[in-house]
A and B are shown apart, each in its own frame.
Chain A
């Protein structure tokens, strides 16, 4: 963990660790990095709401990994004869069952995988695209910048949900197409952000130094500019994740996202809609799950922003 050249703490007491982390004269790059991470973590963990958000997301990831072990019943095959539309609290069915006799809790647990997969895929597709377009645009300047930013602004001006709807309508309903549609409409803000960050550093001395040492433009952008954009990009992506979840659930609700019998939360709300007057729990439970998870992402994103960017703290 520690660099051999750095004076490692002799005693394992907390005090010397902290001193080593917070030193003004780090002896190695790793020490400086760890120190900064420590400061950020300190600032982050002071914020109780942010820690709550982090816990929710960690819980979501754990549930998604161990869904098969946690789920008491099958998520897709129900007991039509004996367990149809049971209310919450019925023996063996904590959150009740739906019209197919399936345990709602099990479906929610397994459905967390779909939610997490959608969010992760959209982030993996949209964030690098935005990062690439933004940094290239900001670093190149001139015509390249003008054209790329005009395209970005055009996409930015589109209504996202409607466009995603039209895309899915054309490509056909399904979870993969929903992911593609959401990703296609969510990269522009990342490009704008990355460009702004790039403009902030492109004229700084270290870029000039790297340039003089003979680095190619591609190397400068990838190795020396992109890392500078990462922290604000991560914050923005985290804040957007709630919106991605809501859009995916909305597409599912309209029958355009994940198809039954997949336990996607939005689709579950749509199928519970018919029973809302008498069996309210069928539609209510998945909505609570969506609310908790997107609240978690919002809290985490707010906390990360405050911790990584002290200027905007409290806004």
Chain B
């Protein structure tokens, strides 16, 4: 009787702890979004291009300029403009793109799957190689293998991604002809293939068009591998650090004393305990790839949100630039915060507050 009630209060306390965590999380998420929107609002207001003149043209009579200014709300005090801006942004209204004449949100929804697909392939490659490399480097600390992993990581931190992209295109496409040219599909497929989700690899496999799948793979593998290399640099370094931490703990000594094989100790016991912070790191690198795709997409003519933003930049299309910034920023913030929350929920040590 006594035992079960003690258990119950412990469970209640834990539930309350989780609720407090989620509440704090909601407040943080809301203020961060508000901050992001405040910054983009500010950027939109300091633009030297007058948004009214951009619409009516510089030959419009003063009365027309004044009327449009009022219609667009630019005569209101700044805080009212900001409230208006918040309302529009929250309903997904980022204005119309000057370049494509579509609503910005519509454009972004169309191009976003391309970026998502690329970043996902990059993260899969980065985590798939980075975690084992980091574990090996930690286990054989100071060995040649450790040094190699370290150098590979350091170069990943130091190399300009757009430059490496250009060189790899030169080598693997122009010289060796191993991969396809920049873009998502060959021109022959581009008009016959109708995407469902927008993730071409999945769409092609789902509809059993194996030739399209192969073609999409040949297009995505090079930019995906490049992004993968960058997340590998980060993930392997962090894995090594977490594993070194775990391998120095007492439970490892206990497991050795029990006579477990070294392989089992490393890959089951130590890695399992390093897994919680690792999830956070992989999520962060995923968010980083979504952002870092701007330069990669430009080099590989990958029709994702990064290319959309840079094209809009070159045409002074501020609605599209700021809309893209808000969308990437929101996804980035959400992944960031979710991984943080996940970390708190999964790791019992962070609960003791």
Contact = CB atoms under 8 A, between A and B. Distances in A.
Bound pair (A, B): yes
Interface of A: 150-151, 153-155, 157-163, 165-167, 169-172, 242-243, 246, 249-250, 253-256, 266, 269, 273, 276-277, 280, 283-284, 286-287, 290-291, 294-295, 297-299, 302, 314-315
A249 B46 CA distance: 24
B35 A159 contact: no
Residue among B48, B159, B160 facing the most chain A CB atoms (10 A cut-off): B160
Interface residues on B, range: 35 or more
A276 B181 CA distance: 14
Given A162-B328, A170-B318, A283 B154 contact: no
B32 A157 contact: yes
25 contacts: A151-B35, A154-B32, A157-B32, A157-B332, A159-B290, A159-B332, A160-B291, A161-B291, A162-B291, A163-B39, A169-B43, A242-B158, A246-B158, A246-B161, A249-B160, A250-B160, A253-B298, A269-B163, A284-B163, A287-B159, A294-B157, A294-B158, A295-B154, A299-B154, A315-B240
B206 to A, nearest CB: 31
Nearest to A291: B159
Interface in B33-54: 35-36, 39-40, 43-44, 46-48
A290 B32 contact: no
Given A165-B325, A314-B141, A253 B295 contact: yes
A278 to B, nearest CB: 10
Contacts of A253: 160, 162, 295, 298
B321 A298 contact: no
**B interface SS class:** helix
B163 A154 contact: no
B170 A266 contact: no
Given A157-B332, A276-B166, A299-B154, A170 B44 contact: yes
B120 interface: no
Given A155-B35, A169-B318, A162 B158 contact: no
Interface in B1-58: 28, 31-32, 35-36, 39-40, 43-44, 46-48
A276 B169 contact: yes
A157 B328 contact: no
B130 to A, nearest CB: 16
Contacts, number: 143
A39 to B, nearest CB: 23
A179 to B, nearest CB: 16
**A interface SS class:** helix
A159 B327 CA distance: 11
Contacts of B298: 253-254
Contacts of A283: 163, 166-167
Interface in B92-110: none
B313 A291 contact: no
Contacts of B328: 159, 162
Interface of B: 28, 31-32, 35-36, 39-40, 43-44, 46-48, 141, 154-155, 157-164, 166-167, 169-170, 174, 240-241, 244, 287, 290-292, 294-295, 298, 309-310, 313-314, 316, 318, 321-322, 324-325, 328-329, 332-333, 336-337
Given A161-B294, A163-B329, A166-B43, A172 B48 contact: yes
A290 B329 contact: no
B43 A269 contact: no
Contact of A269 (B160, B332, B336): B160
A291 B155 contact: yes
B325 A162 contact: yes
A277 B166 CA distance: 10
B29 to A, nearest CB: 9
B292 A171 contact: no
Given A159-B328, A277-B174, A315-B244, A287 B167 contact: yes
Given A153-B28, A255-B314, A284-B167, A250 B162 contact: yes
Across the A-B interface, the 8 shortest Cβ-Cβ residue pairs: A287-B163, A154-B35, A159-B291, A294-B158, A295-B158, A159-B332, A170-B43, A166-B325
A313 B163 CA distance: 32
Contact of B158 (A150, A269, A291): A291
A169 B320 CA distance: 11
A150 B157 contact: no
A159 B155 contact: no
Contacts of B141: 314
Given A154-B31, A299-B154, A266 B291 contact: no
B248 to A, nearest CB: 11
A286 B166 CA distance: 12
B31 A150 contact: yes
B241 to A, nearest CB: 5
B314 A295 contact: no
